Amino acid sequence: MTVASPTPAFSAFGPTHLVAVGVCIAAMAIFVLAGRQANEQREPQIARTWAVFWLIQQAIATTYWLLPAQFEIGKSLPLHLCDVLGWLGPFALLLAAPPRWLRTILYFWGIGLSTQAFFTPTLEQGPGDLRFWLFWISHTQIVGAAIYDIVARGYRPSLRDLKVAVLVSLCWAVPIVFLNWATGLNYGYLGKELEGTTILNALPPWPWRIFAVMGIVLALFTVIWVVWPASRVIAGTETESRA
């Protein structure tokens, strides 16, 4: 007799995936619209509330993965790009005057890269598993914060911001590539062996996949930057925003 699993496996593009994405979009929309409509006194409070919960969630997730019962050397260290952004990003909302580079990383990593999790989630566990909730909540917080900074606070990337995003991304990626090469791990999905099904599976084998990923990221970053100067040209203005 077959016994049903108490925690059904997660299936990409199945009902659970679609419902999860819908709930995440609704949560982000409520947050962004609240900040957009708030006055100057209320808006920072809304942003700080999101940031505080983001930091709490990040602390819970990091602690969970480092517990002996959950620890896996190839998964538990907070080295993935979303983990790094999970500790840096909240301060773009918490600080009264966050440094420009912090908002830049939130935009390019949040919009340009973390949104991939909604389309091809590297997730196997269903709603009965804590990992399911940690995954969706963390990516909702990241992407929601990035959208918030655009809609509620008026961030617009400049060409200089694009260069900063590329440089910071390289500073993160290069040591990760060498770590993966030396240990056989797959942090940042830049290792020899891929896990799960993502767009990376369609790329050439390692090490050529690394250069393909860099090219895709550069192209993606360029696209999400160029939409802003292009929109200004269409609207008849030329001055880049420095919000």
Q: What is the pLDDT of residue 200?
A: 74
Give the Å distances, CA to CA, from 51 to 105, 121, 150, 227.
Answer: 15, 23, 16, 27
Burial of 72 (0-12, 13-18, 19+ CB in 10 A): exposed
**pLDDT score for 237:** 59
For 9-40, what is each residue's pLDDT tens digit? Answer: 777 778 899 999 999 999 999 999 999 999 98
The pTM is what? 0.89
Full DSSP string of 207-243: THHHHHHHHHHHHHHHHHHHHHHHHHHHHT--PPP--
Q: For residue 242, what pLDDT is reported?
A: 46
Quickly tell me which residue has 């060409």 as its tokens. 159
> How crowded is residue 42: how many other Cβ atoms within 10 Å of its Cβ?
12
How many other C-beta atoms are found inside a 10 Å radius of the C-beta of residue 102? Answer: 18
- pLDDT value of residue 71: 92
Q: What percent of the chain has pLDDT over 70?
A: 92
Q: What is the pLDDT of residue 196?
A: 60
Look at residue 9 and give its three-state secondary structure.
Answer: strand
pLDDT number for residue 94: 95
Q: Is the pLDDT of residue 1 over 50?
A: no
Percent of the chain at pLDDT above 90?
A: 70
pLDDT band, very low/low/confident/very high, at 3 (cuts 50, 70, 90) = very low
* C-alpha closest to that of 126 among 118, 135, 115: 135
pLDDT score of 217 more than 80: yes
E strand map for the chain: none
pLDDT confidence of residue 189:
85
Q: Examine the pLDDT at 45 and tell me if it is beyond 70.
A: yes
pLDDT of 202 strictly over 90? no
Domain residue spans of the chain: 15-235
In single-letter form, the type of residue at position 89 comes to: G
Which tens digit of pLDDT belongs to each residue from 100-150?
Answer: 999 999 999 999 999 988 988 888 888 999 999 999 999 999 999 999 999
The number of residues making up the chain comes to 243
Give me the residues paired with residue 125 across strands. Answer: 9
Alpha-carbon distances of 159 from 13, 114, 164, 223, 240, rounded to whole Å: 36, 21, 9, 11, 9
Q: pLDDT by residue (tens digit) across 162-191?
A: 999 999 999 999 999 999 999 989 898 888
Nearest Cα neighbor of 31 from 151, 134, 140, 148 is 148
